[in-house]
């Protein structure tokens, strides 16, 4: 007996309805994953952690070296390590900017170092003999200021090369090829959609603060990413052989030279007075002969002292520790 079309459909429906739960469970929805074609994930979380550990070590070197260079208490720390597009990095550049272009040999790409206007001008002012606390004005660096900032960038490049050696990355030479002040030139350095790693460091420069941002393209980091693995770093830190290295560091600290200075007093002169100065003139300071003077360590006032004489040389005697300076330098 032939079945009608209606009977066939009812039969199929009843067979489907009588299926077991196991049979129905086999019908699995396709698993979908969101993929951002504009910003593909090229850096894993392990890579980000490894780069952060690298720059944590770099900050330690910067804090130690720059405290002596600028004669100030310098503090630096990593505040963010992110994967962004180059367009996002360049969009945050100030106008005018202070960006160091760093050649990384033997790798075939460049690293960019963006100094915030606050930190760039304060560093230049300090190295040129100023107090480093001038009011920041958004302006382009002069040729002399650019040359001074380039020295700072070259020092940072050397310190980063030293930090790389902690990961057994040897034979890498970092050198500054240019200091760019026009953000338009910087924006054309790479393709807008190129994936880069942005590392932002917060720097406390005496009583002032600012930031330094590193831009590392994926093509630059790709050859060294396997070495910058956080797992390899931790396995190295657990090596008992590092005890010898720690002992060497502790021993070296005792031989570090710390510049100290004694400021007798201050006075303010007009330019006319300065131009007319001659031998024999007497300048009145803002202190009395019975007042204590201040002993500075790395440019920071630390002790009240009395001035005296030992033989044919001037000397100071420490009377007390200053209590008006909240930052501990030693």
What are the residue boundaries of the structural domains of the chain, listed by start?
Answer: 45-253, 260-321
Q: What is the pTM of this model?
A: 0.62
Q: Does domain 260-321 have CATH number 2.30.330.10?
A: yes
pLDDT by residue for the chain (330 residues), tens digit each?
Answer: 566 777 777 777 766 555 555 555 555 556 766 655 666 667 788 888 888 989 999 999 998 888 888 888 888 999 999 998 888 898 888 888 899 999 988 877 889 999 998 888 888 888 887 766 666 667 788 899 899 999 999 999 999 999 888 878 888 889 999 899 888 888 777 888 888 999 999 998 877 888 999 999 888 888 888 877 654 555 555 555 555 556 666 666 666 677 888 888 888 889 988 899 999 999 988 888 788 888 888 778 888 999 888 988 889 999 998 876 545 555
* 71: Cα separation from own chain's centroid: 19
| Residue 114 contacts residue 201 (beta carbons within 8 Å) | no
Strand order in the sheet with 300-310: 260-263, 293-297, 300-310, 313-321
Cis amide linkage into residue 96, ω under 30° from 0:
yes
Architecture in CATH for domain 45-253: 3-Layer(aba) Sandwich (3.40)
* 50: Cα separation from own chain's centroid: 15
């Amino acid at each position: 007996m032939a079945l009608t079309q209606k009977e066939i459909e009812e039969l199929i429906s009843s067979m489907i309805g009588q299926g077991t739960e196991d049979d129905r469970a086999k019908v699995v929805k396709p698993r979908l994953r969101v993929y951002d074609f504009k910003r593909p994930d090229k850096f894993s979380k392990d890579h980000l952690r490894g780069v952060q550990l690298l720059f944590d070590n770099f900050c330690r070197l910067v804090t130690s070296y720059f405290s002596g260079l600028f004669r100030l208490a310098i503090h630096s720390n990593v505040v963010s390590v992110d994967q962004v597009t180059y367009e996002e990095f360049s969009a945050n550049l100030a106008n005018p900017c202070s960006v160091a272009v760093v050649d990384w040999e033997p790798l075939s790409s460049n690293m960019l170092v963006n100094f915030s206007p606050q930190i760039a001008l304060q560093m230049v002012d300090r190295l040129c003999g100023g107090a480093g606390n001038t009011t920041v004005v958004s302006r382009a660096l002069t040729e002399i200021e650019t040359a001074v900032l380039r020295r700072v960038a070259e020092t940072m490049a050397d310190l980063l090369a030293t930090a790389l050696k902690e990961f057994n990355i040897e034979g890498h030479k970092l050198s500054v090829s240019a200091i760019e002040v026009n953000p338009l030139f910087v924006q054309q350095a790479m393709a807008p959609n190129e994936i880069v790693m942005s590392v932002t460091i917060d720097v406390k420069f005496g009583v002032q603060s600012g930031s330094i941002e590193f831009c590392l393209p994926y093509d630059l980091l790709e050859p060294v990413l396997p070495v910058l693995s956080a797992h390899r770093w931790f396995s190295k830190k657990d090596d008992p052989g590092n005890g010898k290295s720690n002992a060497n560091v502790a021993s070296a600290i005792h031989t570090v030279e710390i510049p100290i200075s004694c400021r007798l007093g201050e006075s303010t002169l007009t330019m006319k007075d300065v131009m007319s100065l001659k031998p024999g003139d007497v300048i009145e300071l803002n202190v009395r002969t019975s007042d204590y003077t201040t002993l500075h360590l790395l440019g920071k006032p630390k002790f009240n002292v009395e001035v005296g004489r030992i033989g044919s040389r001037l000397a100071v005697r420490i009377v007390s520790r200053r209590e008006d300076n909240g930052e501990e330098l030693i």
